[in-house]
């Protein structure tokens, strides 16, 4: 990406400072459970590729977590292929692009899944707790919840962005990688 090619040593810090809630959630769950189901691996994996995580770093990143639960051989057999595939290094060699909000919002996470859009898929209590961890005031949170109740999920995310960074985001949020880029612009200016 234009602003930051994330490296492995910075990834935890950057996840807290610049990831939208959907990706923060996946990232935290991966660190916590050392596993993500397929939908989560795709959503987070393609996002990380979009922010400039190189293939070798991506393999090291997923390997570090997954091998806390499964053996190295199983990781190579079952998971590494899919990661290389996302980077266009296997199969049809398509260069897969990160998911936009519209695709994430209309996904249908099942039990045990952590992908999806928190504004759309979290319970009200879980969403409020997550927003409070992002530092929103109760006033800011009420504005966000108001958008959520009216099913304006991207606007809810845009308001969160504006509250977190203390600046307006006139274009609105329509892509997790756009959220990341805009946030890096602000943090690095
Ligand atoms: Fe992620 Fe988009 Fe939902 Fe924001 S609106 S949490 S960027 S899917």
Q: Summarize pLDDT for 161-176 with one digit per residue, the tens.
A: 999 999 999 999 999 9
Query: What is the best residue among 44, 115, 154, 169 to mutate for testing ligand 1's pocket, by most ligand atoms within 8 Å of CB?
Result: 154
| Protein residues whose CB sits closer than 6 Å to any atom of ligand 1 | 20-22, 101, 104-105, 117-119, 153-154, 157, 173, 176, 179
Spell out the domain ranges in the chain.
8-86, 101-187
The structure tokens listed for 40 are 């989560």
CA of 148 to the centre of ligand 1 (A): 12
Owner of token pair 């990406």: 1
Q: Which atom of ligand 1 is found nearest the CA of 179?
A: 7
Owner of token pair 């950057």: 14
CA of 175 to the centre of ligand 1 (A): 7
Q: Is the pLDDT of residue 4 over 80?
A: no
Owner of token pair 């990143």: 61
Q: What's the first-to-final CA gap in the chain, in angstroms?
A: 16
173 neighbors 23 (Cβ within 8 angstroms): no
Please tell me the distance from the alpha carbon of residue 33 to that of residue 54, in angstroms, as a whole number.
23
From residue 85, alpha-carbon distances to 1, 43, 97, 119, 127 in Å are: 20, 14, 12, 29, 33
86 neighbors 46 (Cβ within 8 angstroms): yes
Q: Summarize pLDDT for 78-132 with one digit per residue, the tens.
A: 999 999 999 988 777 666 899 999 999 999 999 999 999 999 999 999 999 999 9
Nearest CA residue ID for atom 5, ligand 1? 154
18-27 mean pLDDT: 98
* pLDDT category of residue 12 using cuts at 50, 70 and 90: very high
CA of 93 to the centre of ligand 1 (A): 27
Q: Summarize pLDDT for 57-68 with one digit per residue, the tens.
A: 999 999 999 999
């Amino acid at each position: 990406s234009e602003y930051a090619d994330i490296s492995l040593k910075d990834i935890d810090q950057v996840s807290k400072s610049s990831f939208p809630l959907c990706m923060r959630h996946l990232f935290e769950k991966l660190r916590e459970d050392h596993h993500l189901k397929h939908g989560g691996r795709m959503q987070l994996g393609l996002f990380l590729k979009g922010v400039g995580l190189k293939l070798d770093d991506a393999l090291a990143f997923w390997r570090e977590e997954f091998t806390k639960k499964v053996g190295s051989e199983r990781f190579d057999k079952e998971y590494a292929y899919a990661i290389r595939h996302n980077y266009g290094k296997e199969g049809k060699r398509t260069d897969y692009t990160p998911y936009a909000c519209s695709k994430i919002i209309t996904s249908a996470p099942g039990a045990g899944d952590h992908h999806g859009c928190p504004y759309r898929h979290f319970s009200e209590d879980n969403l409020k707790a997550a927003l409070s961890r992002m530092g929103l005031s109760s006033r800011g949170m009420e504005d966000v919840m108001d958008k959520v109740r009216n099913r304006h999920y991207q606007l809810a995310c845009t308001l969160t962005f504006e509250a977190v960074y203390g600046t307006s985001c006139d274009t609105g949020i329509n892509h997790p990688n756009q959220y990341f880029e805009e946030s890096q612009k602000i943090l690095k200016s």
